[in-house]
Structure 1
Amino acid sequence: MTRTRPFLLAAALLASTALSAFAGEADDQIKAPVLRAAVNVTGEIVRVGDLIENAGVAANVAVYRAPDLGTTGVLPAAQVVAALRSHQVIGVDVRDIKEVAVTRLARAIDAKEISAAVAQALDHRNGLGDAASLNVSFDQPVQDLKFDASTSGALAPTNVRFDPRSGRFDISFELGHANGTSPTKLRYTGTAIETVEAVVLTRNMDRNEMIRSGDLQTERRPRADLGGAEPASRELAVGMQMRRPVRAGQPLKATDLAKPDLVQRDQAVTLIYQTAGIYLTTRGKALESGTEGDVVSVLNLQSKRTVTGRVSGRGQVSVDIAVAKPLQTSEAEIPAPVSVASRLPSSATPKAE
């Protein structure tokens, strides 16, 4: 008996060593579960596989209900470990994690995206301009929307109605889902107004006033404010003069502008007489206002005669000089000489001897 005990003990030690070696080999093949600090989920349930890495066969076990769409919930790490333990998930490596943040992913559609979808549905419809020029307002305040992360695609219009007289619209949309569920249906009503980029006066301006850059600012205005006329651009307006009085805050039309007068009525001007080889100037008084190229009447202060000329510059009027051309005739145009005999009366014709 005394010899058997050492043998049994040795056998037991060998068996223990073998089991330890086998266990060590198994530990090398199966990795320990590790807690995650941040978790993203797409559904309504948080599962073991969402919370830890290397969850194994327990990955699909439900643990928590997910937060609301698009929101994040925070759980103490100790609470998470206790919940996992209740589902027979033990030995979780928490590292230095104190809290676990769980975020439920969502498809968000804000009011700006909805407004853009309405404008796109009305693009060039019933006389409207392009979508970018439309100002859309809704009958009810538009709320930001959140859908399940499986929601895909854009808002697709299924029924579009627009009355060009009142500017009212009634549009239905569908929003598809990747998981095969029925699409979400949305409907919006309101008013759409076409706008244009216009230059607006910053002060009241009278007829014939010169427009400077500081007199203008650029705004988007309803096209109806222009009464069907083309809006004036800043580049066109600066340096021009007003054709009519316009109040501050009103958009400028192209028809409101005129070229600046280079000659004002009763202004002292320079009269220029010019032709080939001749260039004369004298003083005059403008009897009319005019811009470049206009024909105006001017009093020649030297001769006291009224002449007409074309405005050629600031304070300058050019007068055309008529030059007599020499008579040019060909031999065919010179009349043939008339015989004297043919002009005498028959009684005066000399008789032959």
Structure 2
Amino acid sequence: MKIKNTLLAFAILSALASLPLLSEAAFAQSSQGNDLRNIQPNSSSIFLKPDALVEGQYVTLGDLFSGVDPQQQDIAVAHAPQPGRQTILDYRWLYGIAQRHDIEWRPRTTADQVLVTRASQVITIDEIRDAVEVALVDHGIERPFTVDLSSENFQIHLPVDARSNIDVSALEINSRTQRFVASVTTAAQTSQQRTYRISGKYYPLTNVPVLVEPVSRGSVIRADQVEYREFRSERVPAGAIRDINDVIGKEVTRPSNPNEPLMFRDLSNPILVRRGSLVIIRLVTANMSLTARGKAMENGSLGDVIRVVNQSSNKTIQVEVVAENEVRALPAMSQ
């Protein structure tokens, strides 16, 4: 009985060893112990690489296994994924390739695999947007403007040896809605040429002055507190200030948020003479220059004509505000 059992076991082992690939039963039986009991341990110096980064169109033996004979390393065994994409080669496929090329490697577990990544050069959405902007200018759209593309996460992956230039080969523009459809071509006039259609919209821009920091009510805006910023034209409200010279030196009558268009209603000329304050009255003619003290009867900004009481004569006269607490008496009015 022992001899028959021995012969039966020997026959079973011989049959399993003759199989070209591992059977599903062998791998299922190994799942409890996370090993493959029906395959002898790998005693060679060849090891499986956990991942592979390939640049060309094919995956080679050298990409998958370390320790392979140098004459076998460049043997192509599979098509590489598209540039920038990945694929997984599992233990069954890898074991079949190893047997086919007489490589002394066997999977240790059903988890053995290789993650293959195809290297690429990336054309970003910003590069695509720049090319579209140039094409829009060539088609008569005047700067400044900004471009929004329909897919902000879109990018193009090219083979590492491909030409990375971008050409907008066609452009359809609707000037009424400001929408467009662009045909973007890469690696033009080569075997790797590809064309992608992408839609979007362009927005004309307007330069308007904005505050760069908070300015409290009653403060006079300095030159270093304001600068130009670009806004979409349709987002600039009516009554917004367009010239930075209309902002510098103005007094803030209502606080405005930094980086937002400034409105004329939020600013005014600073009050240089307050009602009830003492002022210096100057009268300058071709023949004489006189000064006197007076008391302001009303507020006044630069260039305003206000009433003051001359303290020497106790008469009310009209003067022009020329500086802080300083006014100029007009000759005709002084008389």
Name 2:117's counterpart in structure 1: 103
Match among 88, 101, 114 for residue 102 of structure 2: 88
The separation in 1 between residues aligned to 2:269 and 2:294, in whole angstroms, is: 25
Q: CA deviation at 1:251?
A: 1.6
Name 2:315's counterpart in structure 1: 305
User: Is the contact between residue 197 and residue 220 of structure 1 (CA under 8 Å) also seen in structure 2?
Assistant: yes
1:273 aligns with 2:282: yes
Name 2:180's counterpart in structure 1: 169
SS of 2:133's equivalent in the other structure is helix
The separation in 2 between residues aligned to 1:250 and 1:33, in whole angstroms, is: 66
Name 1:285's counterpart in structure 2: 296
1:213-232 residue pairs with structure 2 within 5 A? 220-224=230-234, 225=236, 231-232=242-243
Q: CA deviation at 1:236?
A: 6.9
| AA at the equivalent of 2:321 | V
Work out which of the two has the higher radius of gyration on C-alpha atoms and give 1 or 2.
1
1:178-193 residue pairs with structure 2 within 5 A? 180-181=190-191, 183-193=193-203
The separation in 2 between residues aligned to 1:80 and 1:286, in whole angstroms, is: 98
1:122-141 residue pairs with structure 2 within 5 A? 122-123=136-137, 126-130=140-144, 133-138=145-150
Q: CA deviation at 1:156?
A: 0.8
Q: Aligned residues: percent identity?
A: 20
Give ranges in structure 2 of 5+ residues lacking alignment.
1-44, 106-111
1:48 aligns with 2:61: yes
Distance 1:232 1:77, change over 3 A: farther
User: Is the contact between residue 239 and residue 264 of structure 2 (CA under 8 Å) also seen in structure 1?
Assistant: no
Q: CA deviation at 1:134?
A: 0.8
Match among 195, 201, 205 for residue 195 of structure 1: 205
The separation in 2 between residues aligned to 1:312 and 1:250, in whole angstroms, is: 32
SS of 1:119's equivalent in the other structure is helix
SS of 1:306's equivalent in the other structure is strand
| AA at the equivalent of 2:317 | V
The separation in 1 between residues aligned to 2:318 and 2:130, in whole angstroms, is: 60
| AA at the equivalent of 2:84 | G
| AA at the equivalent of 2:164 | G
Q: CA deviation at 1:116?
A: 3.5
Name 1:155's counterpart in structure 2: 166
The separation in 1 between residues aligned to 2:141 and 2:182, in whole angstroms, is: 17
| AA at the equivalent of 1:251 | P
Q: CA deviation at 1:143?
A: 3.6
| AA at the equivalent of 1:158 | S
Name 1:66's counterpart in structure 2: 80
1:115 aligns with 2:139: no
1:262 aligns with 2:272: yes
Q: CA deviation at 1:232?
A: 5.0
Distance 1:77 1:190, change over 3 A: closer
| AA at the equivalent of 1:174 | T
Name 1:29's counterpart in structure 2: none
User: Is the contact between residue 298 and residue 307 of structure 2 (CA under 8 Å) also seen in structure 1?
Assistant: yes
Q: CA deviation at 1:186?
A: 1.9
**Residue-pair matches, total:** 273
The separation in 2 between residues aligned to 1:253 and 1:121, in whole angstroms, is: 35
The separation in 2 between residues aligned to 1:163 and 1:71, in whole angstroms, is: 35
Normalised by the length of structure 2, the TM-score is 0.58
| AA at the equivalent of 1:305 | K
Distance 1:186 1:65, change over 3 A: closer
Q: CA deviation at 1:59?
A: 4.0
The separation in 2 between residues aligned to 1:228 and 1:288, in whole angstroms, is: 26
| AA at the equivalent of 2:122 | A
The separation in 2 between residues aligned to 1:119 and 1:187, in whole angstroms, is: 15
User: Is the contact between residue 117 and residue 155 of structure 1 (CA under 8 Å) also seen in structure 2?
Assistant: yes
Q: Deviations over 1:99-118 (max 9, x none)?
A: 86532112434444433432
The separation in 1 between residues aligned to 2:138 and 2:251, in whole angstroms, is: 35
